[in-house]
Structure 1
Amino acid sequence: MMDSQTVRSEDAAAGPIGASLASSWRIEVFSDPADVSPDWPRGASGVAQCHAFQTLAFLETWQASYGQSDDIDFCLVEVRDAVGRPVLMVPFIVHRSRSGRVLGFADLGAADYNAPVLFPVEHAWTIAGARRLWTEITALLPAFDLVLLDKMPEKVGSLINPLYLLADKINPESCHLTQLDRPWPEVEKQLQGAKNLRNRARALQRLGACDLVIAQTAEQRGQMLETLLAQKQRRFEETRVPGFDEHPEKRAFFTLGTEIMARAGALHLSALVLDGKMLATYWGLVHGGHYYGLFIGNESGEWSKYSPGRVLHYLLLQHLNATGFVCLDLGIGNEAWKQSVCDVTIPLSMMVEAQTLRGRLSLLWRGLRERLVATSLWQKIRPLKWVILRGWRDKAVGKAFEQ
C-alpha cells in the first residue's frame, strides 16, 4: 500500500484562492479507500458536494473490479487548509497503457462525471489558484507521461470545479438529464412520443399484470441483475460491440456493486414485470435527489413492438417525480434517444497534457486515430471485428463441448 504523503505549500502572497485557504495546503495521497479520512463521503450526507461516482461506495466497487489490474495505481487525494478543514478530495489513477503512464480519474468507462469532492471555501477559485494546487498535487503522484482528465463538469452542486478551470478541450460527449422538480404534466410535456409510450404501457397492461417493480431484497436484486446482464450481453452481440466476455471488469463492477451500493443506500434497481417476466431492467444510482441511470436492458423479439425499455424509463420518470427526486440523469453520451427524453444538457470539458516525449508521441497518435475512427469506412469495418472474434469463440466452445 502506498503510504500517505503530506506536502505544505506556503502561499503567503495570498492570491484569491490562497486567501480562502489561509496560508498553506495540506495534501495527502492514499492508495486504498479504506484508509481515507471520515470526511470523504460514503453517501449523500454532510457538507461535501459530489456526484455518486466519487463516493466511497463507488470507489470500493471500482477498486474491486476495474482497479484489480496490476497496471493501475490508485491515488486518492485529500486537500485541506492550514487548520485541517477539507477543501477537496479527488480519486485519481495512474494507468499504464500503450500511451505510457496516464494520469486520469478512477473511471475507465465506469463514471459519467469526473470531478473532485468539493467543500465550501471562502473565495472563488481562479485559474492561477487551481494551477498552483494542481502542481502541488501532481508532485506527490507516481510518475506519468500523459494527463487525461475527461468528462469534467463546470460545477459540482453549487460549487465551481477547480479542475474545470484547467481544461483545454471540450469533451466529445455531454451528459443529459430530465428535470423532475416540477409537476408531472410539465415533465411529460418535454418527452418526445409521450402519448405513444402511454399507449404502449396500456397495451402491456392489457396482456396481464404489468408493473414497475423496485428491488427491495437481495433476492430481487439478484434476479434483476441476472436478467439485466443477459439482456445487455444479447444487445452487445446484436449491435456488434464488445461485451462482457471482452470486458469482464464491467460485469464485475455491476455484480459486486449491486450489494455494495445497496448497503450504502445508493442503489436503485428496477424492472418492468409482466406476469412475473422481466421485460426490461434498469440499474441506477441515487445520490441525494439525483438519479443516475447507468444500465438499461430489455427483451427483444416479440416484445420489441412494445418498446419495453422505453416504457420502463417512462414509468420510472413518473415514479421518481412522485417520490421527490430532482432529476433522472442518463449520463454521458449524445445518442438520439437520450436527447429525445431529456431537457437539460450538461457540457463537459477535458484537460490533456503531455509531460514527457512519450506523452507527446502518444498525443500525436491519438490525434491520428481520432481522425481515422471518424471516417465512414472505419465505422463500417469496426463491428466486423467483434463478429469474427465471437465466431472464433463460439467455434472453440463447440469443439471443447464435443470433446
Structure 2
Amino acid sequence: MRIEPAAMPLAVPGLNPGALQVRVFTSLEAAQARWEAAEQACAGYGFQRFAWLAHWQRQLGQRQGWRLALTEVCDAGDRTLMFIPFGLRPQAGLRVLGLLGGEVTDYNACLLHPDFVRQVPTGCWEAFWQALRSALPPFDLVRIGRSPLQIEHLASGEMFDNPLTYWPQARAAWQLERAHIATLGESFEAFQKTRSAKMFADTRRQRRRLEELCPGGVRIVLRAAGAEQDAIVAAMARQKARRWRETGSHDVFAEPGYLDFYQGLAADCGGTEGWVQVSALFVGEDIVATHWGMAHGRRFYWIMPGYEDGAWGRYSVGRVLMDAVVQDCIARGFALFDLTVGDEAYKALWADHELALASFEAGVSWRGKGVVALRRLLRAAKEKARSHRGLRNLVRRLSGKAPL
C-alpha cells in the first residue's frame, strides 16, 4: 500500500506564515502520483520526468548508493509548488545531497509551478533553502551539476529563474557549461533558410548516393517499436561504444546498468506513441545510423546519436538521419530541437541559441565546508600552475613528458 509522508509546515522569512508545507518521500512508489501530476502543471525539462529518474534510480542510482529524499513543497491547499528530486549519497565519508540522474541526465533541475516562482522575491530564495534544510535528512554538502539557469514552462515556453542557483554560496562557486538548441519554426523550408545551404545540399547528395548504392533499400525509421526498436538500441550502444573508444572517452556501456537504463526506458516509454523515440537509418539490412531521444512539451531532445564508421563514413549517415528527425519534429509541431550538453562541432551548424548550465558545491556542516574550501584551493593552485611556464614544465617532467 502506498503511504504518503505527512506534510510539515515550512516557515520562510519574508513569505506569509502558514503558506507553505513540505513532504519528503523516501520511496518512488509513494511519490509517483504527486510527481507525475506535478509534471503536467509545472515548469521543467524532460529529465525531471518520474519515469526517467525512476529508471535511473533502479538501474544506476541504487548501485551507486543513492538514497531518496524526494522533496515536495505545497501551498496550504496541498497544490504542488515545487518538486525536487533530491537524493543522498555517501562519498569519502561525507553525506552528499544532490539531484537524482547522474551521468545520463543533461539538465538537473526541479519542477516549478509558475505561480510560486512569480510570488517569491529573488531575495527570499536563500532563506527558502535555509528553511528547507531542516526538513531534509542531515547532510554535509550539496553538490549540483548541470543545472539550467532558467527553467522552461512546458505549454507557454515562458522561462523562470532556477531557484537551485540561489542556494547559499552557490553563485560564488559556479562552473558554467552550455547546451545548444535550435528554434524550429513552422516549416523545414523556412528552417533551412536560417542555416547553411551548403550543409543541406550535401545532405541531399549523400542521401542520393546511398540510394544509388542500394536501390530501394534505404529506409528511415523515425519511431521504432518492438523487436526493431530493440535492435536499433543495441546498434546505438555498439556505435557509441566504438566512438568513445576511438576518442579516448569513457565507455559507460561497459559498466553495469547503463545500457539497461536506455533499453528499459525505451521498452516502457517508446514505440510509435511513446515519448522516447528510437530512430535509425537502414541501408539494406544494415543499421548505419541511430538515435535515442525523447519528446517533452515543446522540445525534442537529441540525446544519444550513433553511426557506423569505416566505409559508411563517406556518406555522412549520421547527418542524413538527423536531417530526417528534424523534419519530423517540425511536422509534429515541436518548437525546439534541443541538442543538449556538449560542444561537438556539428551542433553549431544546427543551433541558434544556448542554455547556460551551472554546477556548484557548497558546504553545510563544518566537515563539508572544509572539504569544499580545500577543493577550491586545489583548483586555484592548478589554474596558477597552468599560467606559470616553470611550474607547467615541472609538472610535465614529473609526468615523463618533455617541457614546452
TM-score range, shorter-chain basis?
0.7 to 0.9
Change (3 A) 1:237 1:37: closer
3-state SS, counterpart of residue 241 of structure 1: coil
Aligned counterpart in structure 1 of residue 151 of structure 2, from 152, 155, 165 = 155
3-state SS, counterpart of residue 109 of structure 1: helix
Structure 1 distance, partners of 2:223, 2:61, is 27
Worse-superposed segment, 68-77 or 55-64? 68-77
**TM superposition shift of 1:106:** 0.7
Change (3 A) 1:188 1:362: farther
3-state SS, counterpart of residue 329 of structure 1: strand
**TM superposition shift of 1:67:** 1.3
Correspondence for 2:248? 240
1:269 aligns with 2:275: no
1:30 aligns with 2:25: yes
Structure 1 distance, partners of 2:236, 2:123, is 46
Correspondence for 2:228? 220
Structure 1 distance, partners of 2:94, 2:59, is 22
Correspondence for 1:164? 165
Residues 125 and 162 in structure 1, CA contact (< 8 A), matched pair in contact too: no
Correspondence for 2:134? 139
**TM superposition shift of 1:375:** 6.1
Structure 2 distance, partners of 1:73, 1:189, is 49
**TM superposition shift of 1:335:** 2.5
Structure 1 distance, partners of 2:195, 2:89, is 40
TM-score of the aligned structures, taking structure 2 as reference length: 0.83
AA in 2 matched with 1:199: R
Correspondence for 1:60? 54
Correspondence for 1:86? 80
Question: 1:282-301 counterparts in 2 under 5 A?
Answer: 282-301=291-310
**TM superposition shift of 1:329:** 0.7
**TM superposition shift of 1:236:** 1.6
Structure 1 distance, partners of 2:377, 2:227, is 47
Overall identity of the aligned pairs, in %: 27
**TM superposition shift of 1:327:** 1.5
1:202 aligns with 2:211: no
Change (3 A) 1:141 1:69: farther
Change (3 A) 1:324 1:245: closer
Correspondence for 1:77? 71
Structure 2 distance, partners of 1:310, 1:262, is 23
**TM superposition shift of 1:162:** 2.0
**TM superposition shift of 1:37:** 5.5
Residues 50 and 156 in structure 1, CA contact (< 8 A), matched pair in contact too: yes
Residues 20 and 76 in structure 2, CA contact (< 8 A), matched pair in contact too: yes
- Size of the alignment, in residue pairs? 373
**TM superposition shift of 1:229:** 0.9
**TM superposition shift of 1:233:** 1.3
Correspondence for 1:118? 112
Correspondence for 2:178? 174
Structure 1 distance, partners of 2:208, 2:362, is 53
Structure 2 distance, partners of 1:2, 1:121, is 28
Structure 1 distance, partners of 2:287, 2:120, is 48
Structure 2 distance, partners of 1:255, 1:367, is 42
1:132-185 deviation digits (Å, cap 9, x = unpaired) = 321232222232222122322223322443223344144431111111133322
Change (3 A) 1:245 1:350: closer
1:368 aligns with 2:378: yes
Change (3 A) 1:134 1:301: same
Q: Which runs of 5+ in 1 are unaligned?
A: 382-403
Residues 140 and 363 in structure 2, CA contact (< 8 A), matched pair in contact too: yes
1:249 aligns with 2:243: no
**TM superposition shift of 1:248:** 2.5
AA in 1 matched with 2:227: E
TM-score of the aligned structures, taking structure 1 as reference length: 0.83
Structure 2 distance, partners of 1:175, 1:95, is 27
Q: Cα RMSD (Å) of the superposition?
A: 3.0
Change (3 A) 1:300 1:130: same
3-state SS, counterpart of residue 121 of structure 1: helix
AA in 2 matched with 1:7: M
Structure 1 distance, partners of 2:38, 2:351, is 25
AA in 2 matched with 1:24: A
Worse-superposed segment, 169-178 or 70-79? 169-178
Structure 1 distance, partners of 2:113, 2:177, is 27
